[in-house]
A and B are shown apart, each in its own frame.
Chain A
């Protein structure tokens, strides 16, 4: 009996994003000595953790053949809710850590509920995910603007002082957000690659009908991916709120596109059926690295950050397509 491989062997396609990351890293080191300073590196990691965590959720949604455009607005909306909750409960709850924990709990709940709504609208109401999340994207964006009355919602300073530890604090010299990012990535990896749920996501993304006839609860699994996405957005928000201590109509703008870009750069297929968590992590790092390197050099204007990111996304997909060429059928 010849050896049977379940997992794909490592090839250019898998290694591509990692090679690109290393190349960018070497480029950064040449561009500016400050690049390799521990301060800059931990800054890069901490900043990529927001998009990275959101993108890990997006990896599930996209692998299962869906798309979620609402994540940026959802992040802003959840930020606003957290701030309002903490500000309004300040007088009633003495212990600030308890107050913050309540807000964190509420955030997770709102995230899961928002994801659930997206999921049920796509599966039960049978509306395309693109349309559903385009709609909820507008709704959340408008809600946060309304909640902030067109301006900015600010977290009470006393709470903010305590809460800021979540963003600025470190463990073993590494910022907390990076640890959270790492934990979410590991859990995401195990869930996607080692469990029945993950395998079902792949199957649904490849061919929903086959999944249905394979006794998979297609609607349930798809809804779960949106709930996971909502929870990931809420986790990203929990570490994002203490960074600025405010939320406005401008919070989280274009996060959805950055998250999708990270997923695609990482080698997940946009049409579904194939997803890679570590690729997504690398994708998020690449996006942050580009911005960082542009900041550290004056060769290219920092204003062109979006253009460079755009080129990288298109180039990444082009390279993957080349490697995707399948063997012809016999």
Chain B
């Protein structure tokens, strides 16, 4: 913000420490947040970013150290860490928007935005005024929805926009955004950035967490890097390149982020083939082949039907009669996930918290759940289960001091590794991974890429659905692109370019002919 007045300090933390039991997750953090600036928090998963912002937002209590917040006159006043709860924080304009959305699903946008903050006329709600304001907020965010439908019917990205509108409505002084764009499209993200620009011009301070380094480059004024619960450095954003940021986060040089797996040759066995795949209401036409040792990327916009197609392959949706699914040349139709698993196909869900892991359960129970039959002959052999789990902890490099915690207490990266371990315990030969690195730090990402490449080298076949263009291009041998329920093209070699994929994904280009058959590319 070049033309704003000199920044005044809004918030400081001195020697901030946080421990859970004996585990220290943050130590001696010194932090300063100024009015009208965007402070980006960078760090790998588990570095302590989310914990730090929860302390600031009053969702966790501080174990040691001092917090100061400026009062209306701009004088810094110490905060009593015992009474600093999120309600008090919000009352003072310190608002945290969580990674997990916190909306009342059955209420509409207006009711959510003003929840606990309702405008009244006498004893009654002033619905008209609230609706007016909601329309105004949503238009600032370029979010064109009916504010009167229950938010349950809205997409995740719209819900995120409503969360942001809600924070905006509260007249925040310090707005903390924890990975807000993880579920947003590029266009929606841009609307958010414009709102952020607008807020900072008004003097609002923003603390921004994201793994997307180009976003940080776009909006941050200052960058603070955390590593293993410690503050590594505080930098002027202008002096940092994306490479610098990545290096600072990981603490080591990141070479060969995308390992190269030897592509399968033309004689490799076709392990999976889908002919005219269609699922009423979801998929209209998808045909492709997958060879042994191949990594086939699936690109496309959110809602283009990629996940639905994968779920149909593993038996969660029924293909229509005209479709044919062949596994190693044999026509199959799976009635359940168990049948697909027994045929050697495993699906790694993109929603690791909602459908991947039992967050309240122990790690071994999560690990064995997908392949439990292997550990049982009538009774579960817990010894065998534990041994297999210990082995998986090594194989998948799940780095933890305390392995007796529940899955919900793992960092995102470790959760993803546990999920991989769980799926691989069934020893599948065809592995479908859906957004395998969403919300994961770059170090763990790199581990997962190497792991996938390794599997392919060993002759496994991999389908990788991803919205991360870099990884789709970097890791896949070929890229299938979907658009509105159709598989519109498979790109390889020279064609495997970002702009080419986007053209297909946007529906500007297609390898399908009028009859719906795949043209010879």
Query: Given A194-B380, A209-B355, A329-B409: A2 and B402 within 8 A (CB)?
Result: yes
Query: Given A6-B386, A202-B361, A210-B356: A329 and B347 within 8 A (CB)?
Result: no
Label chain A's interface by main secondary structure.
loop
B contact residues, range: 35 or more
Which of A2, A326, A330 touches B411 (beta carbons < 8 Å)?
A330
Residues from chain B with a CB closer than 8 A to the CB of A38 are: none
Q: How far is the CA of A83 from the CA of B419 in the complex (A)?
A: 54
Which of A5, A196, A326 touches B380 (beta carbons < 8 Å)?
A196
* Chain A, 212-267, CB within 8 A of any chain B CB: 212-217
* Cβ-based interface call for B363 (8 A): yes
In the complex, the answer to whether B403 meets A6 with C-beta atoms within 8 Å is no
In the complex, the answer to whether A1 meets B390 with C-beta atoms within 8 Å is yes
* Chain A, 183-204, CB within 8 A of any chain B CB: 190, 194-196, 199-200, 202-203
Residues from chain A with a CB closer than 8 A to the CB of B336 are: 215, 217
* Cβ-based interface call for B358 (8 A): yes
Q: What residue in chain B is nearest A2 (Cβ atoms)?
A: B403
In the complex, the answer to whether B21 meets A212 with C-beta atoms within 8 Å is no
* Cβ-based interface call for A207 (8 A): yes
* Cβ-based interface call for A10 (8 A): no
Interface code B353-370, partner A: CB below 8 Å = 1, 0 otherwise?
011111111111100011
* Chain A, 298-330, CB within 8 A of any chain B CB: 326-330
Which of B341, B405, B411 touches A327 (beta carbons < 8 Å)?
B405
Which of A195, A214, A327 touches B376 (beta carbons < 8 Å)?
A195
In the complex, the answer to whether A195 meets B360 with C-beta atoms within 8 Å is no
* Cβ-based interface call for B64 (8 A): no
In the complex, the answer to whether A206 meets B360 with C-beta atoms within 8 Å is yes
Q: What residue in chain A is nearest B229 (Cβ atoms)?
A: A330
Residues from chain B with a CB closer than 8 A to the CB of A172 are: none
Residues from chain B with a CB closer than 8 A to the CB of A196 are: 372-373, 376, 380
In the complex, the answer to whether A213 meets B409 with C-beta atoms within 8 Å is no
Q: What residue in chain B is nearest A190 (Cβ atoms)?
A: B379
* Cβ-based interface call for A273 (8 A): yes
Residues from chain A with a CB closer than 8 A to the CB of B340 are: 215
In the complex, the answer to whether B390 meets A212 with C-beta atoms within 8 Å is no
Interface code A1-39, partner B: CB below 8 Å = 1, 0 otherwise?
110111010000000000000000000000000000000
* Most chain B CB within a 10 A radius of its CB, from A190, A207, A210, A328: A210
Interface code A87-112, partner B: CB below 8 Å = 1, 0 otherwise?
00000000000000000000000000
Q: How far is the CA of A5 from the CA of B357 in the complex (A)?
A: 18
Which of A1, A210, A217, A330 touches B358 (beta carbons < 8 Å)?
A210
* Chain B, 379-412, CB within 8 A of any chain A CB: 379-380, 382, 385-386, 389-390, 393-394, 401-406, 408-409, 411
Q: How far is the CA of A213 from the CA of B394 in the complex (A)?
A: 24
Query: Given A210-B357, A215-B341, A330-B409: A203 and B20 within 8 A (CB)?
Result: no
* Cβ-based interface call for B338 (8 A): yes
Q: How far is the CA of A199 from the CA of B381 in the complex (A)?
A: 12
In the complex, the answer to whether A330 meets B380 with C-beta atoms within 8 Å is no
Q: How far is the CB of B445 from chain A (nearest CB, A)?
A: 20
Interface code B150-172, partner A: CB below 8 Å = 1, 0 otherwise?
00000000000000000000000
Residues from chain A with a CB closer than 8 A to the CB of B356 are: 210, 213
Residues from chain A with a CB closer than 8 A to the CB of B365 are: 6, 199, 202-203
Residues from chain A with a CB closer than 8 A to the CB of B347 are: 213
In the complex, the answer to whether B361 meets A206 with C-beta atoms within 8 Å is yes
In the complex, the answer to whether B370 meets A215 with C-beta atoms within 8 Å is yes
Q: How far is the CB of A188 from chain B (nearest CB, A)?
A: 14
Q: How far is the CB of A217 from chain B (nearest CB, A)?
A: 6
Q: What residue in chain A is nearest B389 (Cβ atoms)?
A: A4
Residues from chain B with a CB closer than 8 A to the CB of A200 are: 372
In the complex, the answer to whether A330 meets B382 with C-beta atoms within 8 Å is no
Q: What residue in chain B is nearest A4 (Cβ atoms)?
A: B403
Query: Given A196-B372, A196-B373: A5 and B355 within 8 A (CB)?
Result: no
Residues from chain B with a CB closer than 8 A to the CB of A273 are: 358, 360-361
Which of B23, B363, B408 touches A4 (beta carbons < 8 Å)?
B363
Q: How far is the CA of A328 from the CA of B386 in the complex (A)?
A: 25
Q: How far is the CB of B241 from chain A (nearest CB, A)?
A: 30
In the complex, the answer to whether A215 meets B355 with C-beta atoms within 8 Å is no
Q: How far is the CA of A77 from the CA of B14 in the complex (A)?
A: 70
Query: Given A6-B385, A213-B337, A213-B355: A199 and B360 within 8 A (CB)?
Result: no
Which of B354, B364, B385 touches A209 (beta carbons < 8 Å)?
B354
Residues from chain A with a CB closer than 8 A to the CB of B370 are: 214-215
In the complex, the answer to whether A4 meets B361 with C-beta atoms within 8 Å is no
Q: How far is the CB of B85 from chain A (nearest CB, A)?
A: 14
* Cβ-based interface call for B378 (8 A): yes
In the complex, the answer to whether B25 meets A330 with C-beta atoms within 8 Å is yes
In the complex, the answer to whether A217 meets B382 with C-beta atoms within 8 Å is no
Which of A1, A8, A209 touches B393 (beta carbons < 8 Å)?
A1
In the complex, the answer to whether B361 meets A212 with C-beta atoms within 8 Å is no
Residues from chain B with a CB closer than 8 A to the CB of A202 are: 361, 365
* Cβ-based interface call for B60 (8 A): yes
Q: How far is the CA of A20 from the CA of B379 in the complex (A)?
A: 32
Q: What residue in chain B is nearest A219 (Cβ atoms)?
A: B336
Residues from chain B with a CB closer than 8 A to the CB of A203 are: 358, 361, 365, 369
Q: What residue in chain A is nearest B383 (Cβ atoms)?
A: A6
Q: How far is the CA of A212 from the CA of B316 in the complex (A)?
A: 9
Q: What residue in chain B is nearest A324 (Cβ atoms)?
A: B360
Residues from chain B with a CB closer than 8 A to the CB of A327 are: 20-21, 405, 409
Q: What residue in chain B is nearest A206 (Cβ atoms)?
A: B358
In the complex, the answer to whether A212 meets B337 with C-beta atoms within 8 Å is yes
Q: How far is the CA of A238 from the CA of B24 in the complex (A)?
A: 58
* Chain B, 1-45, CB within 8 A of any chain A CB: 20-21, 23, 25
Q: How far is the CB of A329 from chain B (nearest CB, A)?
A: 5
Q: What residue in chain B is nearest A1 (Cβ atoms)?
A: B390
* Cβ-based interface call for B277 (8 A): no
Q: What residue in chain A is nearest B400 (Cβ atoms)?
A: A2
Residues from chain B with a CB closer than 8 A to the CB of A214 are: 337, 369-370, 422
Q: How far is the CB of B340 from chain A (nearest CB, A)?
A: 8
Residues from chain B with a CB closer than 8 A to the CB of A213 are: 337, 347, 349, 355-356
Residues from chain B with a CB closer than 8 A to the CB of A209 are: 354-355
* Cβ-based interface call for B436 (8 A): no
Residues from chain A with a CB closer than 8 A to the CB of B379 are: 190, 194-195
Q: How far is the CA of A273 from the CA of B362 in the complex (A)?
A: 12
In the complex, the answer to whether A4 meets B338 with C-beta atoms within 8 Å is no
Interface code B336-351, partner A: CB below 8 Å = 1, 0 otherwise?
1110110000010100
Q: How far is the CA of A4 from the CA of B403 in the complex (A)?
A: 6
Which of A4, A199, A207, A326 touches B404 (beta carbons < 8 Å)?
A4
In the complex, the answer to whether A4 meets B386 with C-beta atoms within 8 Å is yes
Q: How far is the CA of A5 from the CA of B402 in the complex (A)?
A: 10
Q: How far is the CB of A284 from chain B (nearest CB, A)?
A: 26
Given A4-B386, A215-B341, 6 more pairs with CB closer than 8 A: A2-B403, A6-B364, A196-B372, A207-B354, A210-B355, A214-B369
Q: List 11 A-B contacts (CB under 8 A).
A: A4-B390, A5-B362, A200-B372, A202-B361, A206-B358, A206-B361, A209-B355, A210-B354, A210-B357, A273-B361, A326-B408
